[in-house]
Amino acid sequence: MSATLELVSSQRCFGGWQRRFRHASASTRCEMTFSVYLPPQAQAGARVPALYWLSGLTCTDENFSTKAGAQRAAAELGLALVIPDTSPRGAHVADAERYDLGQGAGFYLNATQAPWSEHYRMEDYIVDELPALLEAELPIGPLRAISGHSMGGHGALTLAMRHPGRYVSASAFAPIVNPADTPWGQQAFAAYLGEAREAWLAHDASQLMATVAHRLPLRVDQGGGDSFLPEQLQPDVLCAAAKAHGWALDYTLHPDYDHSYYFIASLIEAHLRFHAGHLARA
């Protein structure tokens, strides 16, 4: 193992390895921790495609790896699962007393406002630094898909739209898709990006649909029993934007499902197969 990555833990799982690493990040200027599932196909020396998973508010890199049950299907499909943390962390990193701002709530963007701008550069970290590191140090190839939940669903959709060609496909569970007009997004954007609404719209999936020329396959699943649905998530805005601007969005509302990992565990295999199909054709 290169000195660049410090192995924190390693467990055998469905013929592959669930591993956790620590490294010094140039993007966030702090130590970052992330998890990776390497399927059996990677053990034979082959480079495998990767699904990048972005978690939601208050999560770390371990929520998805321990709760979603994604490794069995990933092993069958030959997909690596790359699971970064949700923000920079550390005693020297800016934070807030509330759960939806600061550490654990990076919103997958590059902050431009003090004190957040010193460390909160999650867009650079996810899109550029982490893939370059993994593709140099692990048997992971350059074919990438991206998915996420809630705040991470926001990140998956916006990063895929903002960086054409970086990802073959994108999907999300209960994503924040209209953040410029919802409380979670407005609070985070005002803190990280300032008060100019133009800066907010560049990180809003529903708004980006009107300006991005590159159309990639999108899948979104939403629980009908999600308590955050009417105020914070607003998927109808995304669906309307997709229809207005010619995006082939695969959207399904599932009655009774809530915002929890029970919902994610119920549909994660379908998302992995969605991405595997597009990666195989890339």
Interval 228-237: pLDDT, tens? 999 999 999 9
Q: Which of 150, 169, 171, 206 is labelled catalytic?
A: 150
User: Residue 40: pLDDT above 70?
Assistant: yes
Q: What pLDDT sits at residue 3?
A: 58
Residue type, 4: T
27 is an active site residue? no
Hunting for tokens 């990048």 — which residue is that? 52
226 is an active site residue? yes
3-state secondary structure 62-75: HHHHHHCCCHHHHH
pLDDT (average), residues 2-22: 93
Interval 249-276: pLDDT, tens? 999 999 999 999 999 999 999 999 999 9
- The answer to whether 117 and 130 are in contact (CB under 8 A) is no
275 is an active site residue? no
Q: What pLDDT sits at residue 1?
A: 41
Least confident of 1-10, 103-112, 136-145, 226-235: 1-10
- Residues 6 or more apart from 188 whose CB is under 8 A from it? 100, 101, 105, 107, 179
pLDDT (average), residues 124-137: 97
Give the tokens for residue 141: 């190839």
Interval 184-208: pLDDT, tens? 999 999 999 999 999 999 999 999 9
pLDDT (average), residues 112-137: 98
- The answer to whether 28 and 88 are in contact (CB under 8 A) is yes
- The domains of the chain, with CATH numbers, are 6-281 (3.40.50.1820)
- Indicate the Cα dihedral angle 64, 69, 74, 77, nearest 10°: -140
Please state, rounded to an integer, the average pLDDT across all residues of the chain: 97
Neighbouring C-alpha atoms within 13 Å toward the C-beta of 197:
5
Phi and psi at residue 157, in whole multiples of 5°?
-70, -45
Instruction: Tell me the three state secondary structure of residue 113.
Output: coil
Q: Which of 154, 203, 259, 275 is labelled catalytic?
A: 259
Reported pTM: 0.97
User: Percent of the chain at pLDDT above 70?
Assistant: 99
Q: What pLDDT sits at residue 45?
A: 76
| Radius of gyration of the CA atoms of the chain, in A | 17
Q: Which of 154, 204, 226, 271 is labelled catalytic?
A: 226
